[in-house]
Amino acid sequence: MNDQIRQLIPSALWGHFADLNAVPRPSKKEERVIAFIKAFGEGLGLATIVDEVGNVIIKKPATPGMEDRQTIVMQSHLDMVHQKNSDTVFNFDTQGIEMYVDGDWVKAKGTTLGADNGIGVASIMTLLSSTDIPHPALEALFTIDEETGMTGALSLKGGLLDGKIMLNLDTEEDNELTIGCAGGIDITATGNYNRLATNGGIALRISVKGLTGGHSGGDIHLGRGNANKIMNRILQNLSKDFSVGISEINGGSLRNAIPRESFSIVVVNDNDATRVQSAVAALSVLLKDEYKVTDANLSISIDVTEMPAQVMDADFQQKLLKSVYACPNGIYRMSPEIKGLVQSSNNLARILVKDGSYSLQCLTRSSVNSEKDDLTAAITSTFELMDAAVALSGAYPGWQPRPDAPIIQLMSNLYQEMFNEQAHVNAVHAGLECGILGTNYPDMQMISFGPNIYGAHSPDERVQISSVQKYWGYLLETLKRTPKN
């Protein structure tokens, strides 16, 4: 299948993408891809360094006639989000991504594709290995762990880069020029709870599946269903009308992905089992109608399962369900200054309650630091009311737009010239590394762009072939027009 990918145009870019996707590269397990990129740079005879945390920097001199142009920093991240459908058998730690062509799209078989940010990485690799592409001096910056903490960007020291212009290749709409982004923080609530031995009854497994999911920043405004919230709603409704003991809840996976699936195991009285199943079926009809536009494949099922040994005590169960119900999820506030921009949001990303302990995980974002702090305080308070220990980690700053920067003006005008329409110059609610990198390189002009990549952070991820061709031509023309020193 990957041979089919290598035949696409531009073939060098797609070939490098296929090579990259053959290397397992989950966030926080980037050793293999770091070694891969390091060997790539050294194999080209280019100056290659790996910093203390694993960021890779490769420097290439300007091509003849471009020596008087400003040095350009080309930046993308090496890690990718690992998500798969529950019925897909795949080991991200050992297997390369299985890709295929579907019309004008490249997709993966039941997993994330890694186009985020693999197309950016492959683009930079193509420039570094080229012998016939005009370009100024290039500094390729490949960061690690962008998807689960941005620790690569946070740890990059000043003084390693000389360029004053950075092209970040991590935007996912080919008509957008991104010039600002939100900051974020991880919220984790943990604790233990008392359990009661089961004594008779029937055990039922409730499944919420088929939600669209997506990027918890870039897609949060689309109103897609959150499996953790939907499961909690089901359990809360059942608890009002029946004697229900919850043994286990397991929903969501990564903080930066809108949860697509959730599973729970409950114990009910023998004579309530049929009515409980009917109640879930009735609620399923309502939920499918509510989410028929955003999540057409939502599936809710309830089946008899093996009896667990224990369930939560009633007091903790009530506190848990009410706290999850109260936890803000989705858009918290839209920007009053930039039309259509989400200013603050929260993604209730992961719930795991099992064997006497629990963990609730959120990713909170905002382009206004004070509002991010306020939303964080609200979520912290919600979980502290159930006596959870709440930890904050992974905070990173937003990226303040500088719309008058020369590189933004150059690329805006060039887009109009090449495509006879105006680019959408905007800020995004997703997290980009530019704001972090700017703390040690405050004078660097930054802009982010890329091809059409849809469904990022979900197994529906796909990249548009024709859009990659458009973006690639735009990138090459931008390099040709790099300002002189």
79 annotated active-site? yes
185-396, what's its fold? Alpha-Beta Plaits (3.30.70)
Write down the catalytic residue from 30, 116, 146, 461: 146
Q: What are phi and psi of 246, to 5 degrees?
A: -90, 125
Write down the catalytic residue from 30, 79, 145, 460: 79
Where are the domains positioned within the chain?
2-181+399-480, 185-396
pTM (2 d.p.): 0.75
Calpha distance 429→344 (Å, rounded): 8
Q: What tens-digit pLDDT sequence spans the chain (485 residues)?
A: 578 999 999 999 999 999 999 999 999 999 999 999 999 999 999 999 999 999 999 999 999 999 999 999 999 999 999 989 888 999 999 999 999 999 999 999 999 999 999 999 999 999 999 999 999 999 999 999 999 888 999 999 999 999 999 999 999 999 999 998 999 999 999 999 999 999 999 999 999 999 999 999 989 999 999 999 999 999 999 999 999 999 999 999 889 899 999 999 999 999 999 999 999 999 999 999 999 999 999 999 999 999 999 999 999 999 999 999 999 999 999 988 788 889 999 999 999 999 999 999 999 999 888 999 999 999 999 999 999 999 999 888 888 888 889 999 999 999 999 999 999 999 889 888 998 999 899 999 999 999 999 999 889 999 999 999 999 999 999 999 999 98
Does CATH number 3.10.180.10 belong to domain 2-181+399-480?
A: no
Calpha distance 306→286 (Å, rounded): 28
DSSP 170-200: ----TTEEEEEE-EEEEEEEEEE--EEE--S
Element at 463 (helix H, strand E)? strand 462-464
132 annotated active-site? no
Calpha distance 151→156 (Å, rounded): 9
Q: What's the sign of the alpha-carbon dihedral 414, 407, 116, 227?
A: negative
Element at 423 (helix H, strand E)? none
